Amino acid sequence: MSSRTIAIGDIHGCSAALRAVLTAIRPATDDTLILLGDYVDRGPNSREVIEIVLELEKQCRLVSLIGNHELMLLDSVEISRAVGPWLECGGAATLRSYGSLQEIPREHMDFVRRCRRYYEIETHFFVHANYAADVPLDEQPDYLLFWEHLHSHVPEPHENGKVAIVGHTSQKTGEVCDLVHVICIDTYCHGGGWLTALDVNSGHIWQADRHGRLRKG
């Protein structure tokens, strides 16, 4: 079997969904899995999600992007006034998962700090939220990479000619949003939709709900 490149959308503490999708994918050592960020907040098991991801690093080629919820977590660790806004955006679920900010293991915070801003391959590039079409990936502004929703701004095809794979803009229908040059795979797992994994070359999709039930068909 040839190696695969598989992107996984916003997990948001849904560890059962992540386990189910990974069991279905059965990643091999030469597969590349790209996680689009937002591992924590909103769902019930942020701690377990990070633990699964750390184990996954030992099983395949793992590329972990940082999302806006990880940025809020980092701010909350470092700036006390940032805690309140983070809690209102789903951080309270993360605190319940860990117990307190002080109880988050150093290994977990080290993981968050080393997550990437973007990733690209020959045919696709991967960002958490959005992008500017005429700006090189290594110069993209934070507000686009991490915060801008597609319903606020659908970008033109990027100047590099590659297809963008993004998360962040939750598709409450549970269906992948395929705009040809931009494909959004945040399918609202924590809110009753699905966690989506996409093989970017074959187009094959795996989905599981927050209880770990795989979607049929």
The pLDDT tens digits of the residues spanning 49-60 come to: 999 999 999 999
Q: Is residue 213 part of a domain?
A: no
Beta bridge partners of 166: 184
Asked if pLDDT for residue 1 goes beyond 70, the answer is: no
The residues facing 6 across adjacent strands are 33, 199
Query: Alpha-carbon distance 37 to 188, whole Å?
Result: 13
C-beta neighbour count of 182 within 10 angstroms: 21
Q: What is the mean pLDDT of the chain?
A: 97
Residue 152: CB partners within 8 Å, gap ≥ 6?
none
For residue 42, is it within any domain? yes
User: Is 90 part of any domain?
Assistant: yes
Q: Is residue 69 part of a domain?
A: yes
For the entire predicted model, the pTM comes to: 0.97
Specify the pLDDT at position 216. 87
Q: What are the beta bridge partners of residue 194?
A: 188
Is the CB of residue 148 less than 8 Å from the CB of residue 188?
no
Tell whether 32 is covered by a domain.
Answer: yes
Could you tell me which residues come within 8 angstroms of residue 9 by beta carbon, excluding any fewer than 6 positions away? 36, 167, 184, 185, 186, 187, 189, 195, 196, 197, 198
In a domain, 15, yes or no: yes
Residue-wise pLDDT for 145-179, tens only, equals 999 999 999 999 999 999 999 999 999 999 999 99
CA 197, distance to chain mean position in Å, is 10
> Where residue 173 sits, what CATH number does that domain have?
3.60.21.10
Could you give the CA distance from residue 28 to residue 45 in angstroms, rounded to a whole number? 25
